[in-house]
Structure 1
Amino acid sequence: MTKIDAILERALRGERLTFEDGLMLYESDEVEKIGAAAHQIMLKNHPEFPITTFVIGRNINYSNICDTFCRFCAFYRPSGHQEGYLLSDEEILQKIKETIDVGGTEILMQGGTHPNLPFQYYLDLLRKIKSHFPQITMHSFSVAEILKMKEVSGLPLEEVIRRLHEAGLDSLPGAGAEILDDRTRMKISRRKGSWTEWIHVMEMAHRLGISTTATMVIGFGESMEERVLHLLRIRESQDKAVASGKVGYLAFIPWTFQPENTHLSVEKVGPEEYLKNLAISRLMLDNVKNFQSSWVTMGPEVGKLSLSYGCNDFGSTMMEENVVSAAACTYKVNTNLILDLIRQAGRVPAQRNTRYEILRIFEEHERAENDFVMQN
């Protein structure tokens, strides 16, 4: 039995993997074997298999004005730039209405760290959205945006998150995690804050009863040690939530950095490295139940493959996504194509909500009543 075999066997027995185990997995070239073990772990967490879920949602990038200036971002514009924008409330409400009209349940609303928007802007916007569409789930704002709200308001972090929650924020996405180690963070996004600040915001949300997701982006030139540390830090944070009876991280979503049109010159990570990272994440994060495919960055075909490397969820239809598309890697995927891809992988597609509750199981050959293509 090889060392990799022994690690995988321990993981399948339910034993928690160590830093050294994770590092050895990253250094291994036995990607298919690691993927097969990750698939088995997924099956243990999801007895409803072969059901594979997805959510009908829309990304609304309400503004591209940002003063964080991340080297890897092709989306932001500085304040005063002629290409900078801030959507009107009416435009945002219209986008949400369009989402609901096609059966959507989730809005991922994010922008830059806008230096000139008062905290009250976000509270008023959330209240207006909920007054018009009380049924929509606002899975919105990044950690960086939350920290900017804290800065401009002068309020304690707990108060900022509490007021957002009371105004209509239902769930906090994991955007901005990138790599949870400061060596890489200071290289790519010095103004975005330390890894401990990211964790602190997430854990504060958990304490206030707000569920979140966690993310990971590889391909910044980070070391394998940093990748393992990222996973261990998410796992430790989730342990705290579970111990206190909170939901914590509902899902984990890893993807790869897309260097096109950015100021960061690195070699692009390929599909095999993505699948390997996904599988290792599933093995290491033994306390996170749901793993999302990242078809937006990797494409539909790799997204389909990811369902054999630890994913139980195909993510969001993402009616609109301007941040990733700014880096020239947006894949056009509509609801019916997602149904087809899930079926091609030998699974049964089901629509879920943000809380991973199944809303509708699609029978064989059943099409969605409404269809849309992601718009940019």
Structure 2
Amino acid sequence: MVLREWARDAHATAQAARAALRHVADDPAALTDEQWVALLGASGAELEQLCELADDTRRMVTGGDDLTFVVNRNLDTTVIASGRAEVATLEELVIEARSLGATEICLQGPLPVDAPDDGYLRLVHTIHAAAPDLHLHAFRPPEVRDAATRMGLGVTEFLRRAHAAGLGSVPGTAAQILDDDVRAHLAGGACPSVADWVSTIETAHQVGLFSTATMLYGHVETPHHQVAHLRMLCEIQRRTGGFSELIVMPMLPANAPPHLREAATARATRRETRAVHAVARLLTQGSFDHIQVAWTKHDPETTEALLAGGADDIGGLLIDGELMPAAGQEAGRVLGVDTLADLAARTGRTPRQRTTGYADPPVERQIPIPQVRR
């Protein structure tokens, strides 16, 4: 596996980025892979121009300067199903989340091997029964396939049953980079194939569910892999129209598998992170309206820079409460409404609550946001 490499010298990189910038403003769809790669290498004045163009595109696509967010609670399937969330039942966690203003429950992670064969479906029934008006966003493609296998069903039939029971959408995580060689390297060997991930997501869309789309960068991939990944997501979107948003996430050293810890300590720079988000906005224009900042994976200054460089959504507040159990990698991470209001003010945006599907929540389900002077 060839590790990620920015091989051009500074002069050649700047020259290539300037040439690509002359074309991207007029017709992003006409850019070649090499031109997108050149933009991913932009720095200095070229990076600032790229991010400004991406932000202009964000404003044009979304129709304004809103900073959207959803009020949600993340739960880890493994913790919930194993009984380690001893302070509360699943029903209590869901009911409390609703009382705190949540409109979404996000559930990710595999069930233990000794869980009942219909364990995933039971979770859907339990959550929906506890709060029928909450949107359930649950089960990544590997978990969908695990659920179908346990029940002796095809993926389509499991998703139909889950949808009928109350599942609203599917996280498009575990996409990583949609290249089999990269995925195998990340997994240290065998891993779900690109074909499995794509077919599972497209099946979810076909049975009436929508999903997020993601890209994990900053590990062993190259800029060409990043471009190919974004193009594949756009192709899926053209076929199904089932993606609600694109979330671009760096691999953090703390979350890297052991065999990649050393490589991941050379984490993605702020320059690369800004360029990746700006290119994601421009390359996916016409396919994705919403680019989300994974705020739990960036420092506050980088989050602000990304909101000024093409991103329009901050994701979930990840509300906490008295009963909150561990929630995987995002345990203990909460974005308060005061912090959100300050962030919006600093970036010249207006905070606006949304549902998981980017509609306005009912008035009675909207949380008060402090007014902060810009």
TM-score normalized by the length of structure 1: 0.83
1:18 aligned onto 2:39: no
**1:206 Cα deviation after fit:** 1.1
The corresponding residue for 1:349 is 351
d(CA) in 1 for partners of 2:111 and 2:90?
A: 18
**1:130 Cα deviation after fit:** 1.3
1:322 aligned onto 2:320: no
Aligned ranges for residues 212-223 of structure 1 at < 5 Å? 212-223=211-222
CA change 1:8–1:117 in 2 (3 A) is: farther
**Equivalent residues of 2:40, 2:272 under 8 A apart:** no
d(CA) in 1 for partners of 2:284 and 2:198?
A: 16
**Alpha-carbon displacement from aligned partner over 1:121-179 (angstroms, at most 9, x marks no partner):** 22122112212211100011111111111222221111111111111110111111111
Aligned ranges for residues 45-60 of structure 1 at < 5 Å? 45-47=61-63, 49-60=64-75
d(CA) in 2 for partners of 1:150 and 1:271?
A: 40
**1:6 Cα deviation after fit:** 5.0
1:167 aligned onto 2:162: no
**1:115 Cα deviation after fit:** 2.5
d(CA) in 2 for partners of 1:25 and 1:324?
A: 31
**1:90 Cα deviation after fit:** 5.5
Which runs of 5 or more structure 2 residues have no equivalent in the other structure?
A: 1-13, 321-325
d(CA) in 1 for partners of 2:191 and 2:79?
A: 16
CA change 1:223–1:307 in 2 (3 A) is: same
**1:273 Cα deviation after fit:** 1.6
**Equivalent residues of 1:291, 1:313 under 8 A apart:** yes
1:41 aligned onto 2:57: yes
How many residue pairs get aligned? The number is: 341
d(CA) in 1 for partners of 2:267 and 2:195?
A: 27
SS in 2 for 1:350: strand
Structure whose residues are more often helix by fraction: 2
The corresponding residue for 2:201 is 202
CA change 1:356–1:119 in 2 (3 A) is: farther
d(CA) in 2 for partners of 1:28 and 1:342?
A: 27
**1:86 Cα deviation after fit:** 5.3
The corresponding residue for 1:103 is 101
**Equivalent residues of 1:292, 1:311 under 8 A apart:** yes
Q: Which amino acid aligns with 1:11?
A: V
**1:94 Cα deviation after fit:** 1.7
d(CA) in 2 for partners of 1:201 and 1:88?
A: 33
d(CA) in 1 for partners of 2:93 and 2:75?
A: 8
**1:253 Cα deviation after fit:** 0.4
Aligned ranges for residues 161-310 of structure 1 at < 5 Å? 161-189=159-187, 190-241=189-240, 247-260=241-254, 262=256, 263=258, 264-265=260-261, 266=263, 267-286=266-285, 287-310=287-310
Q: Which amino acid aligns with 2:290?
A: N
**Equivalent residues of 2:21, 2:39 under 8 A apart:** no
**Alpha-carbon displacement from aligned partner over 1:165-206 (angstroms, at most 9, x marks no partner):** 111110111111111111110011244401221111111111
d(CA) in 1 for partners of 2:91 and 2:80?
A: 20
**Equivalent residues of 2:118, 2:150 under 8 A apart:** no
d(CA) in 1 for partners of 2:229 and 2:41?
A: 16
**Equivalent residues of 2:111, 2:119 under 8 A apart:** no
d(CA) in 2 for partners of 1:332 and 1:89?
A: 19
CA change 1:39–1:178 in 2 (3 A) is: same
The counterpart of 1:339, out of the listed 333, 338, 341, is 341
d(CA) in 2 for partners of 1:59 and 1:53?
A: 18
SS in 2 for 1:251: strand
d(CA) in 1 for partners of 2:24 and 2:86?
A: 50
**Alpha-carbon displacement from aligned partner over 1:340-370 (angstroms, at most 9, x marks no partner):** 2112211110111001113359777279xxx
d(CA) in 1 for partners of 2:267 and 2:347?
A: 26
**Alpha-carbon displacement from aligned partner over 1:18-73 (angstroms, at most 9, x marks no partner):** 322222222333322211111111111111x221111111110131599xxxxxxx
d(CA) in 1 for partners of 2:134 and 2:80?
A: 25
Kindly, what percent of the aligned residue pairs are identical? 28
**Alpha-carbon displacement from aligned partner over 1:285-328 (angstroms, at most 9, x marks no partner):** 121111111110103332222111111111111136733247xx
Q: Which amino acid aligns with 2:314?
A: F
CA RMSD of aligned residues (A): 2.7
Q: Which amino acid aligns with 1:155?
A: L
The counterpart of 1:129, out of the listed 127, 135, 138, is 127
d(CA) in 2 for partners of 1:331 and 1:276?
A: 26
**1:336 Cα deviation after fit:** 2.1
1:112 aligned onto 2:110: yes
> Once structures 1 and 2 are overlaid, which stretch shifts more, 300-309 or 141-150?
300-309
SS in 2 for 1:260: helix
Q: Which amino acid aligns with 1:365?
A: Q
CA change 1:9–1:239 in 2 (3 A) is: farther
